[in-house]
Structure 1
Amino acid sequence: MSKYSILLPTYNERENLPLIVWLLVREFKENGHNYEIIIIDDNSPDGTRKVAEQLQQIYGEETIVLRPRAAKLGLGTAYVHGMKHATGDYIIIMDADMSHHPRHIGGFIDLQKKHNYDIVTGTRYSKGGGVHGWDLMRKLIRLDYMIVLVLYLVVVNSRGANYLAQVLLNPGVSDLTGSFRLYKKAVLEQLVAKCQSKGYVFQMEMIVRARQFSYTIGEVPIAFVDRVYGESKLGGNEIVSYAKGLLHLFATT
């Protein structure tokens, strides 16, 4: 039986972690899949690690694998760290803030099995997908100056950032900036070895590199919901990283 390793990078997700783990456990048990949940906490000051330890006591060490780090080192490196400890044939990456609902995972697995895809990615921008919980400011994408537009799109509207990347990179998928995906483990290992990005742009580069290697990619519509607890991790550093990363990929791919 195939095994699935779910990587959950966390930073200040004390309120969200118990619910996302419960939903993951329910999803995998109901569908009879072999799985493990790997929590990579970056020394969260809100006590996320303590909550993760309590969840491990409840569900067991085979189900909840704790692989904390000493500091906040970036999303890309968190996946690298978690992948080193993954024992599954497939790896699922997702956010721990309840933006990605585990109910979609069954669709990922079914589609991958049907077509033997190397990667299955969730998309907010095809029929059946969507974004919920954003206010007007997060949906507004029209500004007068291009440089301000680029920065604004990254800060407040992932649809706009995705559209900009689509125009420049032509990746062949509808949601380039999404972060809810299933990979064959060997595929993820090769892509991570080639990727240079470590922040927000990491997800985008993974798909661009996958196309370079001619990996097959399937898409599943998902409903993306803005976080209920806590604050967004997207800040000034991520804005600069996105702009630099997008230009680098445009110049080198």
Structure 2
Amino acid sequence: MGISIVLLAYKESENLKILLPQIIDNLKKTKEAYEILVIDTAEPLDNTEVVCEEFGAKYINQEEPGFAGAFRTGIKYACMDKFLIMDSDGSHNPIYIPDIYNMFVNSNCDLAIGSRYVKGGHTSDSKSSIVMSKILNTVFRICLGIKASDISTDFRMYHTNQLKSISLKCKNYDVLQEVLLKLKMNRKDFKIGEVPITFDQRMFGESKRKLIPFIISYVQTLIRLVSIRLSTSTTFKNLFLYGIFGLSAAFVEYCIFILLYKVTSMSPEQVNIIGALCGLAFSFPTNTFLNFKKTNNLFKRFVSYGSICFVGMGFSTFIIFIFKDSMNLLVLKAFLMIFVSIVQFILNKKITYRD
């Protein structure tokens, strides 16, 4: 029994000199046995090992590349029944360790998260970073069905045996979403608790995250994790058929959009509305009778389906109004159709075709 606290370090010796004594002080407040594992790069790049020896932390060189490789190395060598991971750059303040521990133990959670986005949480990131982070969190939360406000932070406490029971394939920071999905798939009643924290700027050194590779990695992971989630349920079949019927409806809608936009004097917004209504007329009967096969309560289902479509139509029309003069309209319309279709599938699955 106890806590394995895992710190993933990449040239963080200066930060560790400050963090390790603070971590030790706060671990003592839990009155649990503990071990501190510092996972350094495969080839040492600074004097992290010396700092670990000074404060009694176990120094381990990661056995696989990338953030996820270091994470898996930490899981492999953790010996206690609780597994707490946090950043080594000072952005995760050790004062929150007792709060996360108490949430984990007293609320009987499968996972406790130090969250920036619950009431009382805060982050010192730039506004653009906050917006991007919240968008990613929202998309992953909806698509993966994970009930947490902050699923991109790694300040978390897990059950070590649960971590050791799953196979993680991701290579970068996207492992943080992969581990949530796979733990959730293993436990039907998977419970997450969140503790408000303040996310600080790193104390020394530079961030290791590169924006473009970071975004590309997350998009690839989203596609892969959604496919894993859907393949375990009838939702996959529904999504596949929805995609087939949706592509047909989208083709009709897109052709109408191009035709009316090119040969009439109607505004892009008007053309978008007409195209969306035509898509609705095609997609509702095909999804109702051929995909979900829900033939009862047709009027109620039509009202629900139509309402969801009207919300999507309103959103896409608003976006077209905002960006029609600064973006290629046909490309913008194509992207909007993809995004809106995915959201509409999720909402219709949960609302319109729910028994």
TM-score bracket relative to the smaller structure: 0.7 to 0.9
- Alignment match, 1:59: 55
Which runs of 5 or more residues in structure 1 are unaligned? 142-152
Cα 1:28/1:239, change in 2 over 3 Å: same
Amino acid in structure 2 at the alignment position of 1:51: T
Which fold has the larger relative contact order, with Cα–Cα distance below 8 Å and residues 6 or more apart in sequence?
Answer: 1
In the TM superposition, what are the counterparts of 1:150-229 in structure 2 within 5 Å? 153=132, 158-191=133-166, 193=167, 195-214=168-187, 215-229=190-204
Amino acid in structure 1 at the alignment position of 2:91: S
- Alignment match, 1:127: 119
Answer 1 or 2: which has greater helix percent. 2
Asked if the contact 2:68–2:175 (Cα under 8 Å) also holds between the matched residues in 1, the reply is: yes
Q: Distance in 2 between matches of 1:138 and 1:81?
A: 29
Q: How many residues align?
A: 226
* Alpha-carbon offset, residue 163 of structure 1: 2.2
SS at match of 2:123: strand
2:93 is the alignment partner of 1:101 = yes
In the TM superposition, what are the counterparts of 1:69-148 in structure 2 within 5 Å? 69=62, 73-132=65-124, 134-139=125-130, 141=131
Amino acid in structure 1 at the alignment position of 2:49: A
Q: Distance in 1 between matches of 2:128 and 2:147?
A: 28
* Alpha-carbon offset, residue 250 of structure 1: 2.0
- Alignment match, 2:4: 5
**What whole-Å deviation, never above 9, does each CA across 1:53-82 have from its counterpart, x for those lacking one?**
2331x233xxx1111137x71122212212
Q: Distance in 1 between matches of 2:153 and 2:116?
A: 8
* Alpha-carbon offset, residue 46 of structure 1: 4.5
**What whole-Å deviation, never above 9, does each CA across 1:128-157 have from its counterpart, x for those lacking one?**
11112x234434x4xxxxxxxxxxx3xxxx
- Alignment match, 1:247: 223
Asked if the contact 1:11–1:43 (Cα under 8 Å) also holds between the matched residues in 2, the reply is: no
SS at match of 2:35: strand
Q: Distance in 2 between matches of 1:186 and 1:67?
A: 20
SS at match of 2:84: strand
- Alignment match, 1:32: 31
Asked if the contact 1:53–1:66 (Cα under 8 Å) also holds between the matched residues in 2, the reply is: no
Q: Distance in 1 between matches of 2:55 and 2:153?
A: 29
RMSD: 2.0
SS at match of 1:160: helix
Pair member with larger Rg:
2
Amino acid in structure 2 at the alignment position of 1:237: P
Q: Distance in 2 between matches of 1:136 and 1:126?
A: 17
Q: Distance in 2 between matches of 1:168 and 1:69?
A: 31
User: Which stretch shifts more, 38-47 or 16-25?
Assistant: 38-47
**What whole-Å deviation, never above 9, does each CA across 1:89-135 have from its counterpart, x for those lacking one?**
11111111111111111112112221322211121111011112x23
Output the TM-score relative to the length of structure 2: 0.59
In the TM superposition, what are the counterparts of 1:16-31 in structure 2 within 5 Å? 16-31=15-30
Runs of 4+ in 1 over 6 A off after TM superposition: none
Q: Distance in 2 between matches of 1:225 and 1:54?
A: 22
Which residue of the other structure, out of 207, 213, 219, is the alignment partner of 1:237? 213
* Alpha-carbon offset, residue 33 of structure 1: 2.4
% same residue: 30
* Alpha-carbon offset, residue 164 of structure 1: 2.5
Cα 1:54/1:126, change in 2 over 3 Å: closer
Answer 1 or 2: which has greater strand percent. 1
Output the TM-score relative to the length of structure 1: 0.82
* Alpha-carbon offset, residue 202 of structure 1: 0.5
